[in-house]
Amino acid sequence: MKKILVFEGDEDTRLLYKEGLIGDCYSVFLASSEDEALGIIKNDNPDLIAIGNHSPELNGIEFMQKLSENNLKIPVILGTSSGRCKQNFQVWSSHAHVVKSPCLTELKLAIKEIFASVS
pTM of structure: 0.86
| Tens digit of each residue's pLDDT (9 = 90 or more) over 1-22 | 999 999 998 899 999 999 999 9
The pLDDT of 69-83, averaged and rounded, is 81
pLDDT of residue 34: 87
Asked whether 30 and 58 are in contact (CB, 8 A), the reply is: no
Burial of 6 (0-12, 13-18, 19+ CB in 10 A): buried
Asked whether 67 and 5 are in contact (CB, 8 A), the reply is: no
Q: Sketch the domain layout of the chain as residue ranges.
A: 3-37+51-86+104-118
Hey, which residues does 38 pair with through a beta bridge? none
Name which CATH class applies to 3-37+51-86+104-118: alpha beta
Q: How confident is the model at residue 119 (pLDDT cuts 50, 70, 90)?
A: low
| Tens digit of each residue's pLDDT (9 = 90 or more) over 80-106 | 765 554 454 444 456 687 888 889 999
- Sequence letter at residue 28: V
